[in-house]
Amino acid sequence: MPPRTAHTAHAAAKPADEKITINLGYVDLGQIDLLVQEGFYANRTDLIRTAIRNQLALHAEVVRQVVARKTLVLGIQHFSAADLRAVQASGEALQIRVLGLATIALDVTPELALAAIDSVVVLGALHASPAVKAALFGRIR
């Protein structure tokens, strides 16, 4: 029987945004501040988010093709202890493949995660307890 994929899990409520840090040269930063000062953007973050979204829109077709080719789930996937127990009881194992956010509930034990999850590929962020992440370390690609 083939392993189950993240497609069988249910979506969770939208979590808070992930924070990133970037380094910019003084000239770029000055230009950003000028555009903010002139009212084109509310603040630096607004300009940076807009620039990123514009680049993602420019490459949307490539992203769509790769998501389809790599059979990634696009968005947010949450795995509860009940989800993983059901997978374990079926004798199958999950291949988690997410472009976005994958969360494993805090009540999932490392033993349950190992029994129910065959592999994890996340382009974005994986939220799980440190113990579960440590247990799955060799299965995270």
Any idea of the CA torsion for 61, 62, 66, 72, to the nearest 10 degrees?
-50
The pLDDT-based confidence of 11 (bands split at 50, 70, 90) is very low
Q: What is the pLDDT of residues 59-105, one digit of tens each?
A: 999 999 988 888 899 999 999 999 999 999 999 999 999 999 999 99
* Counts for the chain of helices (H) and strands (E), in that order: 6, 4
Mean pLDDT of 18-23: 92
What pLDDT sits at residue 13? Answer: 56
**Per-domain residue ranges of the chain:** 4-16+71-139
Q: Is the pTM of this model over 0.75?
A: no
With vertex at residue 29, the alpha carbon angle to CA 41 and CA 27, rounded to the nearest 5 degrees, is 130
Q: Is residue 102 classed as helix, strand or coil in its secondary structure?
A: strand
